[in-house]
Structure 1
Amino acid sequence: MQYWLVKSEPEAYAWADLVKDGRTRWDGVRNFQARNNLQQMQPGDMVLFYHSVSEKAVVGIAKVDKAAYPDPTAADPKWVAVDLVPFRDFKDAVTLEQIKKDKRLENIALLRQSRLSVMPLTAEEFDVLLALGN
Structure 2
Amino acid sequence: MAYWLLKSEPEVYSIEDLRREGQAIWDGVRNYQARNFLLRIQPGDICFFYHSGTNPPGIAGLCRVVRTGIPDPTQFDPQSPYFDPKATPERPRWYTVEVAFLEAWPLIPLTELKACFPPDHPLVKKGNRLSVMPVPPEVAEGLIARRGCR
TM-score, shorter chain, exceeding 0.5 = yes
- Equivalent residue in structure 1 for 2:103, among 78, 88, 99: 88
Could you list the runs of 5+ residues in structure 1 that have no partner in the other structure?
A: none
State the superposition RMSD in angstroms: 1.6
What's 1:129 paired with?
Answer: 143
TM-score (norm 2): 0.81
Per the TM alignment, residue 109 of structure 1 is displaced from its structure 2 partner at its CA by: 2.3
Q: Which residue of 1 aligns with 2:11?
A: 11
Distance 2:60 2:36 in 1: 24
| Structure 1 residue 46, shift from structure 2 partner | 0.2
Point out 4+ residue stretches in structure 1 off by more than 4 angstroms: none
- The number of equivalent residue pairs is 132
Largest Rg, 1 or 2: 2
Which structure shows the bigger proportion of residues in helix conformation? Answer: 1
What are the equivalent positions in structure 2 for 1:15-94 lying under 5 Å apart? 15-54=15-54, 55-75=56-76, 76=87, 77-90=92-105, 92-94=106-108
Hey, which of these two has a bigger chunk of strand by percent? Answer: 1
Asked whether the equivalents of residues 71 and 79 of structure 1 are also in contact (C-alpha less than 8 Å), the reply is yes
Structure 2 unaligned regions, length at least 5: 77-86
- Give the TM-score of the pair, scaled to structure 1: 0.90
